[in-house]
Amino acid sequence: MNAMRKPLQLILSTAATVLLAMSFACTEESEKGAMQVHPYKTALITRWGQEVTPENAWTEYPRPQMAREQWQHLNGLWDYAITQDDAAAAPDVWAGNILVPFCLESRLGGVQRLLQPEEALWYRRSFEVADITGKRTLLNFEAVDYRCEVWVNGTSVGSHQGGNTPFSLDITNAVQQGGNELIVRVEDETGGWQLRGKQVLENKGIWYTRVSGIWQTVWLEQVSAAYIEDLTLKTDAASGTVNVAAEVNGSGDGAVLRVTMKDGETVVASAEGSVSGLALQVASPKLWTPDTPHLYALDIELLDGAGASLDRVSSYAGIRTVGKTRDAEGHLRFTLNGETIFQWGPLDQGWWPDGLLTPPSDAAMLYDIEYLKAAGFNMIRKHIKVEPRRYYYHCDRLGMLLWQDQPSGGENPRWLFLKEDAPDAEWPDDAHAQYMQELEWMMDTLENHPSIVVWVPFNEAWGQHRSVEVGNWVSERDPSRLVNIASGGNFFPVGDVADAHAYPNPKFPYPHERFTEFVKVVGEFGGHGFPVDGHLWNPDQKNWGYGKKLPESLEEYKTRFRTTLEELNQLRREEGIAAGVYTQTTDVEVEINGLLTYDREVAKIPAEELAEIRRELLPDLVGGAR
């Protein structure tokens, strides 16, 4: 078996040789001179990245909240090529191999080539389908950045625009039994109105290497003519209910749902009825919290009018209710299941030195969450990125609250923080419509996860536009969660949260009267930088962190952390601050303000020590404002 495994180092060297032969890439010119063809090639690689092979690259089931038993992943080695963006036909000559689901620019992808705005990236692979009789075949992409078209056996089966969320294509009319050819064409300008998060064409400081093409799992599943296309789960802690609704695709006239809910092996509720919604009630429910992240298993079956099974999926639900309440001093506080909770978490960007936006493995992604959980955090602010769906599954089962940011892009207004009369940026209607479409896709993809408690449409003033319209839409779209319209950005009286950013020391602006009807939080603070030799992205480049100068020792770094946490707790007691977000989980490229190094090999403050500091300086996260 081992003799058949192709080592990652060989993939990398082979791809590099192919790239050197691509003379066009080395001779193109830009207005600034020679075009930069390759990203910075760091020596950093994670322990998980060192174990990646074409055979083990992201083989886990990608959609835990709507799982089918039969599926086939298409990750592994694909052919790739780069052409000018006016090329409409697949190339005759392919440049080499790329390891999917890692992006073109990443070390783990094996290419490390920068896709230019005027270029197109092409992928090709073959796949086998054993049987197509009486079945519909769905081709699923978890994420492709940014715009793509897909062909199966020479037939175009669909296109997609938006680089952060999953999409599915029905390839039934193009697929054939036995061997098939799949081709994907991608364009990614990493600019303009495109929602791209922290990606830029020239990475520096807090802006990182661009990511192009497929960057999450590609997979196949087969379903019947009528099948469950989507689920919507809603829960209520007070009544112990779980509401299940299904979106059905196909000729499902007269179809009904049969839902069975289990606690372990024990059936606690069941119901049968309309696909538009069923209510299941649990006597004495075990509520979902960070300390007790109890999940109920759901078996969901689609039946035809005669009671025959058309489709079956497994899911789960955590029963919990998110809210807010006013304390004795008149400050609004977060609640979970009716109990006050102070939310304490890190800013988490989810970048990796070897995979960039793509974690090297599921185990690597899980490591970050487990470290933060052990460190005493009860919340994560997922910053300007939508993670693979398994990330949210792990937060659900481990018990980690999430604030979910929408990836940013487009033009910015003047940034006035929380001052009065702040402006919005002017966005054209088509760019705004695309923003709203991608926001809806994100919310629809993630809305069933009990871990997510706050939506964050904008960060600071990045692409902030039509704030009141967007905030009202999000609140109406999902009234079960709270809305932080612009974390640290221009304040508009919409949603539920007023969010201040302050570095390195936490602050919230006076006077507070404007924010009486809002939960007051410090959505970013800290950012204390500390470089660790041997674990830097680029040892020859100046490191970047918040504050006038970097600490001169590890002890000084820890002292700064303790001081800002004490100040946060003072804001909590005296000014009614209801949450704090410390920047950040890991170093990212030349940013060295992480609690962990970028390769996750060094914890600048071990998890156990962080947990003890939190218990000492930020006590009683649950059940009381002080």
Domain ranges of the chain: 2-223, 238-317, 322-617
Please tell me whether residue 555 adopts helix, strand or coil conformation. helix
CA–CA separation, 586 vs 209, rounded Å?
Answer: 16
What number is the average pLDDT over the span 61-69? Answer: 97
pLDDT of residue 34: 59
pLDDT of residue 21: 33
pLDDT of residue 253: 72
What number is the average pLDDT over the span 535-564? Answer: 92
Query: Do β-strands 266-274 and 256-263 pair in parallel, antiparallel, or remain unpaired?
Result: antiparallel
pLDDT tier, 542 (very low <50, low <70, confident <90, very high otherwise): confident
**Distances 224 to 127, 174, 350, 445 between C-alpha atoms, Å:** 21, 16, 37, 22
For the cut 90, the answer to whether the pLDDT of residue 5 exceeds it is no
What number is the average pLDDT over the span 577-606? Answer: 97
What number is the average pLDDT over the span 612-622? Answer: 94
CA–CA separation, 170 vs 136, rounded Å?
Answer: 7
CA–CA separation, 261 vs 271, rounded Å?
Answer: 9
Cβ neighbours of residue 545 closer than 8 Å, sequence gap 6 or more: 527, 528, 529, 530, 591, 592, 593
**Which of these, 420, 608, 403, lies nearest to 496 by C-alpha position?**
403
CA 347, distance to chain mean position in Å, is: 13
What number is the average pLDDT over the span 342-347? Answer: 98
pLDDT of residue 36: 83
pLDDT of residue 12: 35
pLDDT of residue 624: 57
306-322 pLDDT, tens digit per residue, is 899 999 999 999 999 99
What number is the average pLDDT over the span 20-35? Answer: 39
For the cut 90, the answer to whether the pLDDT of residue 566 exceeds it is yes
Residue percentage of the chain with pLDDT more than 70: 94
CA–CA separation, 597 vs 583, rounded Å?
Answer: 13
For the cut 60, the answer to whether the pLDDT of residue 240 exceeds it is yes
pLDDT of residue 245: 97
- 472's tokens: 């009202």
What number is the average pLDDT over the span 179-183? Answer: 98
CATH topology of domain 322-617: TIM Barrel (3.20.20)
pLDDT of residue 13: 33
- Which residue has better confidence, 1 or 130? 130
What number is the average pLDDT over the span 207-225? Answer: 97
- 499's tokens: 């969010």
pLDDT tier, 270 (very low <50, low <70, confident <90, very high otherwise): very high
CA–CA separation, 56 vs 7, rounded Å?
Answer: 11
489-522 pLDDT, tens digit per residue, is 999 999 999 999 999 999 999 777 899 999 999 9
Query: Do β-strands 401-405 and 452-456 pair in parallel, antiparallel, or remain unpaired?
Result: parallel
Q: Which amino acid is at 294?
A: H
pLDDT tier, 1 (very low <50, low <70, confident <90, very high otherwise): very low
The lowest-confidence range among 58-62, 356-360, 542-546 is 542-546
Element (DSSP H or E) covering residue 11: helix 8-21
pLDDT tier, 433 (very low <50, low <70, confident <90, very high otherwise): very high
For the cut 70, the answer to whether the pLDDT of residue 139 exceeds it is yes
- Is the previous residue joined to 493 through a cis bond, with omega within 30 degrees of 0? no
Q: Identify the architecture of domain 2-223 in CATH.
A: Sandwich (2.60)
- 391's tokens: 């990330």
**Which of these, 334, 315, 459, lies nearest to 385 by C-alpha position?**
459
pLDDT tier, 544 (very low <50, low <70, confident <90, very high otherwise): confident
Cβ neighbours of residue 437 closer than 8 Å, sequence gap 6 or more: 162
Is the alpha carbon torsion for 412, 415, 418, 419 positive or negative?
A: negative
- What phi and psi values does residue 459 have, to the nearest 5 degrees? -110, 130
Do residues 374 and 346 make contact, with C-beta atoms less than 8 angstroms apart?
no
> How would you class 370 by CB atoms within 10 Å of its CB: exposed for 0-12, middle for 13-18, buried for 19 or more?
middle
Please tell me whether residue 211 adopts helix, strand or coil conformation. coil
For the cut 60, the answer to whether the pLDDT of residue 328 exceeds it is yes
pLDDT of residue 392: 98
**Which of these, 121, 70, 584, 546, lies nearest to 311 by C-alpha position?**
70
What number is the average pLDDT over the span 111-117? Answer: 96
- Report the chain's mean pLDDT, rounded to a whole number: 92
Superfamily grouping for domain 238-317: Immunoglobulins (2.60.40.10)
For the cut 70, the answer to whether the pLDDT of residue 216 exceeds it is yes
CA–CA separation, 461 vs 513, rounded Å?
Answer: 22
For the cut 90, the answer to whether the pLDDT of residue 237 exceeds it is yes
Q: What is the maximal distance between C-alpha atoms in the chain?
A: 74
What number is the average pLDDT over the span 280-299? Answer: 97
For the cut 50, the answer to whether the pLDDT of residue 17 exceeds it is no
373-420 pLDDT, tens digit per residue, is 999 999 999 999 999 999 999 999 999 999 999 999 999 999 998 999
Do residues 139 and 129 make contact, with C-beta atoms less than 8 angstroms apart?
no
